[in-house]
């Protein structure tokens, strides 16, 4: 069967782009000063907050591996997460790389390549979402004598792209292709390096005191984190507010909204739950007002976290706070359900739909700002019921801990 004309054009475009990109990178790297004595090792984890948290155990293990080889551990992360990583990861240095700007802007790409070129003795790329034009090209530029990485998977890297970039590594590690949670995949990856790490959620250390703006939360509160990495992976804000109001009324809580960015418009209670009582829950919008490195403090003091399948879900698990998340079916098994040990503090509500496993290429006609069909099937009543069960379980668990202390 002959490939469609559109497929041929796409392959041709990718080929030409790759040739130009690798030629550009070669010129930059060859013009960079070679370091005679290399005393650093690199770890690349450039995706968002959730991916960074899921890699927490792996980063700790890889840092120890680099230290055992008498190297300083340098962690590369998304620029927005640099301060967060400095506070919470056992590495010697943290630097930022914007993977989108790196792949789209030549001036930025040149500057980053010069930063990493011929600098490291060992470089490790543990991310399963490996891409030729980002992770692979960075690994190539390091010129490290050991360049170790995850073999990755489609659609992030194609068979044709592997032909180009597998040679950029001295060792590629293949993990089982069947669906598994990211925590388990990191266990498998590092086991191939003779490194043992836990499959439990990575735990954040001590967090700071609440930011001053949180003084408005004059009574216990729950947190709503309404955004995800893409609009189609985000449950509607109205549903979050209705569910949050119902839960807050039952448990006498305020509601605090948090996110890295401000909401597009002022937020208030929907008409469906427009408060009539003097004992109505307070609604505190802190979206875009709290630096990301301070968000763990807000989460740690919350009675409940309501969110999407997003970085905030993984943050709630890392802090062992009762967290209920709205999940989609784009990548089943990869991000939830969590291993058994975490299920007492995390509950993900999702629907088992026949189109699960679409890699978020929704078969329904959606605009860029529409919620995916699988997520839209979840009602606010589902979240309220799940939250009630989770909070009762969490309270019972805390009572047992208090009894054991006595």
Instruction: Determine the pLDDT at residue 406.
Output: 39
Across the beta sheet with 346-349, what order do the strands follow?
A: 283-285, 254-257, 221-225, 304-308, 323-326, 346-349
Query: What gap in Å lies between CA 287 and CA 263, rounded to an integer?
Result: 6
Residue by residue, pLDDT tens for the chain (406 residues) are: 555 666 777 777 778 888 999 999 999 999 987 767 899 999 999 999 999 999 999 999 999 999 999 999 999 999 999 999 999 999 999 999 999 999 999 999 999 999 999 999 999 999 999 999 999 999 999 999 999 999 998 888 988 899 999 999 999 999 888 889 999 999 999 999 999 999 999 998 777 666 665 555 568 999 999 998 888 899 999 999 999 999 999 999 999 999 888 888 889 999 888 766 667 899 999 999 989 988 999 999 999 999 999 999 999 999 999 999 999 988 878 898 887 755 668 999 999 888 888 888 888 867 878 899 999 999 999 999 999 999 987 764 554 344 444 3
Name the residue with tokens 């340098």: 74
- 155: preceding bond cis by omega (within 30 degrees): yes
Instruction: Determine the pLDDT at residue 37.
Output: 81
Overall residue count recorded for the chain in this entry: 406
* Cα four-point dihedral sign 172, 175, 181, 183: negative
Provide the b/e sequence for 311-322 (b: ≥16 CB within 10 Å): bbbbbbbbbbbb
CA dist list (Å): 156 to 14, 50, 279: 13, 18, 50
Q: Which residues pair with 306 in a beta bridge?
A: 224, 324
Helix (H), strand (E) at residue 246: helix 237-251
Q: Evaluate whether 285 touches 257 at the Cβ level (below 8 Å).
A: yes
pTM, 2 dp: 0.90
**Mean pLDDT for the chain?**
89
CATH number of the domain located at residue range(s) 22-191 in this protein: 3.40.50.2000
In the chain, ranges of CATH 3.40.50.2000 domains: 22-191, 212-405
Residue 125, phi then psi, degrees to nearest 5: -125, 95
Q: Evaluate whether 49 touches 292 at the Cβ level (below 8 Å).
A: yes
CATH for 212-405 (3.10.105.10, 3.40.50.12780, 1.10.150.120, 3.40.50.2000)? 3.40.50.2000
Instruction: Determine the pLDDT at residue 280.
Output: 84
Query: What gap in Å lies between CA 268 and CA 281, rounded to an integer?
Result: 12
Two tokens, residue 269: 């209670």
């Amino acid at each position: 069967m002959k490939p469609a004309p559109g497929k041929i054009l796409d392959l041709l475009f990718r080929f030409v782009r790759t040739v130009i990109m690798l030629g550009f990178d070669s010129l930059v790297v060859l013009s960079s000063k070679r370091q005679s004595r290399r005393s650093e090792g690199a770890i690349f984890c450039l995706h968002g907050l959730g991916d960074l948290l899921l890699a927490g155990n792996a980063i700790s293990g890889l840092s120890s591996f680099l230290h055992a080889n008498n190297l300083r551990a340098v962690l590369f992360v998304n620029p927005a997460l640099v301060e967060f990583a400095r506070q919470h990861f056992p590495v010697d240095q943290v630097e930022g790389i914007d993977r989108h700007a790196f792949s789209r802007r030549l001036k930025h790409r040149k500057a980053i390549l010069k930063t990493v070129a011929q600098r490291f003795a060992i470089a490790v790329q543990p991310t399963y979402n490996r891409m030729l034009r980002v992770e692979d090209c960075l690994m190539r530029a390091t010129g490290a004598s050991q360049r170790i990485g995850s073999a990755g998977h489609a659609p992030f890297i194609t068979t044709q792209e592997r032909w180009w970039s597998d040679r950029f590594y001295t060792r590629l590690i293949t993990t089982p292709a069947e669906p598994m949670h990211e925590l388990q995949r990191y266990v498998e990856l590092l086991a191939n390096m003779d490194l043992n790490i836990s499959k439990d959620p990575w735990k954040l250390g001590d967090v700071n005191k609440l930011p001053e703006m949180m003084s408005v939360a004059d009574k216990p509160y729950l947190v709503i984190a309404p955004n995800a990495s893409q609009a189609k992976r985000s449950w509607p804000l109205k549903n979050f507010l209705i569910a949050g109001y119902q839960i807050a009324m039952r448990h006498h809580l305020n509601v605090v909204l948090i996110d890295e960015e401000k909401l597009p418009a002022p937020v208030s209670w929907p008409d469906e739950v427009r408060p009539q009582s003097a004992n109505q829950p307070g609604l505190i919008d802190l979206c875009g007002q709290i630096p990301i490195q301070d968000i763990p403090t807000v989460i740690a003091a919350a009675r409940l976290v309501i969110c999407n399948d997003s970085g905030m879900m993984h943050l709630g698990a890392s802090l062992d706070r009762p967290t209920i998340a709205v999940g989609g079916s784009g990548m089943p098994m990869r991000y939830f359900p969590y291993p058994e040990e975490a299920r007492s503090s995390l509950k993900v509500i999702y629907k088992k739909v026949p189109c699960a496993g679409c890699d978020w290429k929704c078969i329904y006609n959606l605009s860029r700002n529409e919620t995916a069909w699988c997520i839209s099937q979840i009602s606010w009543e589902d979240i309220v019921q799940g939250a009630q069960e989770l909070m009762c379980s969490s309270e019972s668990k805390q009572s047992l801990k208090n009894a054991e202390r006595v």
